[in-house]
Amino acid sequence: MPSIREAKTATLNGAVKRIELPATGGYWTIDTRPSWGRLMKIRRAMESPETTDEDNINIVLVELTEEWSFDDAITSDAIELMDIEDIAHVMQEVNRSVLPLFERMGKS
């Protein structure tokens, strides 16, 4: 029997996960196995001296988001308007699935 977490995070395409959002009841689909090139693009954007931690979260979410259930285009501005509980829920999956890929990049 799947755990509650597994039930709430349905795997679609092997590398894409649809995450059911607790606050809004919508969904957010992210790429959990992005290409090396996509990871490098994210990393370069995050290395800018002007970026804040909030900017970094927005960069990661914009780059990894495949689709969501909201009418807004997937942009940093739209993410800033999202419910913080939903963002935290998505970031848990990013930390679990994608962060290890960034850590491996640093070792190569």
For residue 64, give its domain range: 4-107
Number of domains in the chain: 1
pLDDT tens per residue, range 32-55: 999 888 899 999 998 889 999 999
pLDDT (average), residues 8-18: 63
Q: If you write DSSP's letter for every residue of 24-81 in order, what string do you get?
A: TS-EEEEESS--HHHHHHHHHHHT-TT--HHHHHHHHHHHHEEEESSSS-S-HHHHHT
pLDDT tens per residue, range 69-93: 999 999 999 999 999 999 999 999 9
Q: What was the pLDDT predicted at 58? A: 94
**Dihedral (Cα; 66, 70, 75, 81), 10-degree rounding:** -140
